[in-house]
Amino acid sequence: MESSQAGRNVGVIGLGAMGAGIAQSLRRSGYAVHVYDIRPQACAAFAAQGGVACASLAQMAQACDVVVSVVVNAAQTEDVLFGAGGLAAGLRPGSVFVMCSTVDPNWSAALEGRLRERGILYLDAPISGGAAKAAAGEMTMMTAGSPQAYAACGGVLEAMAGKVYRLGDRAGTGSKVKIINQLLAGVHIAAAAEAMALGLREGVDPQALYEVITHSAGNSWMFENRMPHVLAGDYTPLSAVDIFVKDLGLVLDTARHGKFPLPLASTAHQMFMQASSAGHGREDDSAVIKIFPGITLPEAE
């Protein structure tokens, strides 16, 4: 560990599945990690492990020159920055705001300019890999921003992630790559659910089906990762159905501007919309399998 890291203050906003793991990884790397979440109990739990709980965003802005935001969407990011008591008013010039949410690439590109007017550096830095990889410091970051923004981050990005891809010197490219990743992720989850649903309908033992597929050419990372949730009857949301309603919506919005057809993404989006409309929006995204009729799903023991 570099001695310059040992006392360096880094802020993390949002202690959900990914944000909590990021905060843990940064603390293990020797950073003084300040956290903020709308759930005070989440901050208190992290502080009990050696972190610093911030009672407000203004407190974080005073303490930290690097702030990592891991909230759900652009609207929450807007509130974090520009809402009452938001970060933008309190961050020192030369500070860097690292935005890890999945958002409209055009919005992200515009945010860089808005923050520049206040003297704040910005890194467009969506993430992927899931909660376990975030906690282990092994997730993937798809980043874009100015050389000055990268320099201001120091070793923070490398402490957070196993792979840090630098995709351009202007914000927006990271978000473009992320939504393409989400296109694949959403389609793969929908296809995995469709395949398992067909197996159930045809009377195939679901455990045997899972074993065969995960050792055959039809396997995907999403099939292997998500179908155990179905087999266990456990739809605790590690990534919720409504996340893919949002993310595939961003994919389609981006393509629509260029009149680019995305037939598979469109179908997957409708499947997640149907699951959400049926009341499964806050369940794990594997709950998209619940839209299929005439099947009996495994139940939790």
Query: Known catalytic residue: 178?
Result: yes
Question: Can you say whether the dihedral through the CA atoms of 51, 55, 56, 58 is positive or negative?
Answer: negative
pLDDT of residue 233 exceeding 90: yes
Among candidate residues 178, 246, 259, 290, the one labeled active-site is 178
> pLDDT tens for residues 185-198?
999 999 999 999 99
Q: How many Å apart are CA 23 and CA 12, to the nearest integer?
A: 6
Q: What is the mean pLDDT of residues 116-136?
A: 95
User: In terms of C-beta density within 10 A (0-12 exposed, 13-18 middle, 19 or more buried), how is residue 297 classed?
Assistant: middle
> What's the mean pLDDT in 214-230?
98
Structure tokens belonging to residue 16 = 């959900």
Tell me the C-alpha distance between 16 and 218, whole Å.
32
Q: What is the pLDDT of residues 164-184, one digit of tens each?
A: 999 999 999 999 999 999 999
Q: Is residue 59 pLDDT above 80, yes or no?
A: yes
Q: Identify the pLDDT of residue 131.
A: 87
SS3 73: coil
- Specify the length of the chain in residues: 301
The torsion angles phi and psi of 137, rounded to 5 degrees, stand at 70, 30
Residue-wise pLDDT for 243-265, tens only, equals: 999 999 999 999 999 999 999 99
Please report which residue ranges of the chain form alpha helices under DSSP H. 3-6, 17-28, 40-48, 57-63, 74-82, 105-116, 131-136, 147-153, 156-160, 173-201, 206-213, 221-232, 241-257, 263-275
pLDDT for the residue numbered 238: 87
pTM: 0.92
pLDDT at res. 17: 87
Q: Could you give the 3-state DSSP secondary structure of residue 240?
A: strand
Q: How many angstroms separate the CA atoms of 117 and 113, rounded? A: 6
